[in-house]
Structure 1
Amino acid sequence: MASNDQASNNNSEFRLDNLFSTKGKLALVSGGGSGIGLMISQALAVNGAHVYIFSRSEKVRLVAETYNKGDISGKITALQGDVTSKESIKSLVEEYSKHEDRLDILVNNSGIAGSKVNFSTNSVEELSNNLFNSDTFENWEEVMRTNVSSAYFVSAAFLPLLNKSSETQKGWSATILNVTSISGSVKITQHHPAYNCSKAAANYLTKSLANELNLNGFKIRVNAVAPGVFGSEMTAGGSSANQKSKIENDKYKSLPSGRVGDDKDMAQAALFLILDQYVNAQSIIVDGGYQVNHGQ
């Protein structure tokens, strides 16, 4: 029978501040200047992580200035970087390495929606025309480059620093979190086929990269969070002065949740995937029940 001291110690493992603390962790988030990237960055920093956010835009510096205040036990630092350029990614690794000698958490969040195509027609000739003339090879290439290839190359570039994290911290495996989308698993195109195909590819990348790292003996987990409708510059068309985006719930009342996703919904999902050391190669859907009616 366990002693009272042992029972007390075991019970403490279930405290929320032990289950979801990122105290002392080092994170890097692409596209951390708005939307879901900002939500995840805040969740990590408030719970103790030093979060480096980067994008091509100067808005990451505004985020660092705005959200380093108040009830935050960690820190947010802004860097510049373009996920679609190998030279920029290499420069980012060099810049990050001036500050830190390991990376505990990598979040590949950057993404674009690309062009829309009208699939609603009663004429096969009109549908053919819409699909062929309303879209371009350049759009598909840009969407795939930003939503899939970037996650591959950023992850590859930071593998040595991620591996250093696992090697130097007992009981911890470094983690890569890819932000994909329910658009990668639903059967409808939602009028942006390039985007949906890119998100399906990002889900595959998650599983395949996790597998290859494991086969090579590296203790680095790779998971994905696949959001439904959340406020972001992509879904809302812009953001406010504090880099937050708002979507009205009225058009989403049909969801089982009756509303769109909020910051806390994303924070809970991301922290679970990042911190649960027993979860690997998974794509977790967080969509308010959208796929109850629109799934495969």
Structure 2
Amino acid sequence: MVVRHQRHIVTSSHCRPSSITGKYIGSVPTQNTSRDTINSSRRADRISAQFSTSTTTTIQAQGSSGETNMASDDARVQNNKDFQLNELFNVKDKVALITGGGSGIGLMYTQALAANGAKVYICGRTGEKLDTVAKTYSQDITGSIIPITADITSKQEIQKLYDELEKREGHLDILVNNAGIMSDKTITTEAQTPEEMKKNMFDDDKNSFQDWDDIYRTNVSQCYFMSTCFIPLLAKATQHTHGYSGTIINVSSISGQVKTSQHHPQYNASKAACIHLTRMLANEIAQNEIKIRVNTIAPGVFPSEMTAGSSGANQKSAIPKEKFEKKVPAARPGNDRDMASTLLFCATNTYLNGQTITVDGGYTLAAGM
């Protein structure tokens, strides 16, 4: 709750003749002015003298969330320390869990948080990959990286993961649902006739319900079950820090925003579903008056095993810049810093809720979205 007390300056209007009567109006009474009007004018003059040099006052107030807010029109009153980067994007001592944190964009998120003092748990199916990340990127950081093997497409595994985090930490500040897959089956959508389109998009054996189910299970369903399972731990983080601290960040894609299928309609549809799921979860949580924020990041083209096809010994991937020079207004694919700064923004901005943050170098602009 912000309380603002402002002392208004009241001054007498300049004396000027009335264009109708020729009498003066303003603080100087006319001959027909009543005694009450004269007294009111005198009170106004006293108020003007008393407050003519006053400034806007500032009151600090604690809202129901426990956060202290400031409101002031006087820049001298503001605390400049609050505007420093380490205050605006502070994740020191935060506890985070990142699914798919062992490579690609998930690894970028892992480094962004751990390098700035957070305790980051990364989970995935391949323990060796997670161990490599923890060993390689735990050097010269103020936080820590802790690997946990888990299959987050299973409710039982998700519950075990929850129990482990509850036992170790007792709360969770940041949940990043980053794990995702893309089908290796591309769909030809171009056709000259209705019959050809049916043949390409329906008759072909590689188009199956199972393929769609597998993609939705990882890209959509796990986001729902991970988010809903961890609500109690995220709520405890909010209680611990007295604000909208507990946050869920789902990772979707610009593929869920563009109008084309890009030859993988099952993937694009799943990412669009993830975006809408984010908004629904944010609404349902808010309706129950639980103070947890839910947002989604929609990356454009970034180096990952999905876009590059593989990763090196350090679990990093690379994409040739020239491949996207003419496709993206930024004339390059995204890099680690682009994605890291986005995550820090989503994790720390406590006024951000139910939103999709698109980071694509202008790709969707060029695509005519």
TM-score band, normalised by shorter chain: over 0.9
- Counterpart position of 1:169: 241
Secondary structure at the residue paired with 2:232?
Answer: helix
CA–CA distance in 2 between the matches of 1:152 and 1:51? 21
Q: Which runs of 5+ in 2 are unaligned?
A: 1-54, 59-74
Could you tell me the TM-score, scaled by structure 1's length? 0.96
Highest Rg: 1 or 2? 2
Amino acid at match of 2:255: S
Moved beyond 3 Å, runs of 4+: 6-9
- Counterpart position of 2:348: 275
Select the structure with the greater relative contact order (CA < 8 A; seq sep ≥ 6): 1
Amino acid at match of 2:195: E
Matched, 1:119 2:189: yes
- Counterpart position of 1:293: 366
Secondary structure at the residue paired with 1:24?
Answer: coil
Instruction: Please state how far the C-alpha of 1:122 moved relative to its aligned partner.
Output: 2.3
Amino acid at match of 1:107: V
Matched, 1:88 2:157: yes
CA–CA distance in 2 between the matches of 1:210 and 1:285? 18
Secondary structure at the residue paired with 1:246?
Answer: coil
- Counterpart position of 2:199: 129
Deviations 1:35-77 (A, max 9, x none): 011101110111110000000112111101111012x111110
Query: Aligned match of 2:144 in 66, 75, 97?
Result: 75
The number of residue pairs the alignment matches comes to 293
Contact 2:243 2:291 in 1 (8 A): no
CA–CA distance in 1 between the matches of 2:80 and 2:357? 28
- Counterpart position of 2:111: 42
Contact 2:188 2:263 in 1 (8 A): yes
CA–CA distance in 2 between the matches of 1:183 and 1:264? 21
Amino acid at match of 2:249: L
Secondary structure at the residue paired with 2:230?
Answer: helix
Contact 1:20 1:47 in 2 (8 A): no
Instruction: Please state how far the C-alpha of 1:95 moved relative to its aligned partner.
Output: 1.8
Instruction: Please state how far the C-alpha of 1:124 moved relative to its aligned partner.
Output: 2.8
* RMSD (Å) for aligned C-alpha atoms: 1.5
CA–CA distance in 2 between the matches of 1:8 and 1:259? 43
- Counterpart position of 2:167: 98
Could you tell me the TM-score, scaled by structure 2's length? 0.77
CA–CA distance in 1 between the matches of 2:159 and 2:368? 39
Amino acid at match of 1:178: N
Contact 1:41 1:51 in 2 (8 A): yes
Instruction: Please state how far the C-alpha of 1:12 moved relative to its aligned partner.
Output: 0.8
- Counterpart position of 2:262: 190
Q: Which runs of 5+ in 1 are unaligned?
A: none
CA–CA distance in 1 between the matches of 2:168 and 2:213? 34
Contact 2:329 2:366 in 1 (8 A): no
Contact 2:104 2:303 in 1 (8 A): yes
Secondary structure at the residue paired with 2:248?
Answer: strand
Contact 2:98 2:177 in 1 (8 A): yes
CA–CA distance in 2 between the matches of 1:8 and 1:250? 50
Instruction: Please state how far the C-alpha of 1:167 moved relative to its aligned partner.
Output: 1.0
Work out the percentage of aligned pairs sharing the same amino acid: 50
Matched, 1:60 2:133: no
Q: How does 1:146-295 map to 2 (within 5 A)?
A: 146-254=218-326, 255-295=328-368
